[in-house]
Amino acid sequence: MTQTHVSTIVNGDAVEFLCETDETLLDVLRDRLTLTGSKEGCGSGDCGACSILLDNRLVCSCLVLGVEAQDREIETIEGMASGDELHPLQRKFIEHAALQCGICTPGFLIAAKALLAQNPDPTETEVRYWLAGNLCRCTGYDKIITAVIDAAAEMRGNV
HEC string for the chain: CCCEEEEEEECCEEEEEEECCCCEHHHHHHHHCCCCCCCCCCCCCCCCCCEEEECCEEEEHHHCEHHHHCCCEEECHHHCCECCECCHHHHHHHHCCCCCCCCCHHHHHHHHHHHHHHCCCCCHHHHHHHHHHCCCCCCCCHHHHHHHHHHHHHHHHHC
Q: Which is nearer to other proteins, 12 or 94 (CB)?
A: 94
Residue 158 CB, nearest approach to other proteins (Å)? 19
CB of 157 to other proteins, least distance (A): 21
Residue 73 C-beta: closest distance to other proteins, Å: 14
Measured from the CB atom, the residue of 102 and 121 that comes closer to other proteins is 102
Taking the least distance from each CB to other proteins, the nearer of 135 and 153 is 135
Nearer to other proteins, 74 or 114 (CB): 114
Q: How far is the CB of 47 from other proteins (least distance, A)?
A: 5
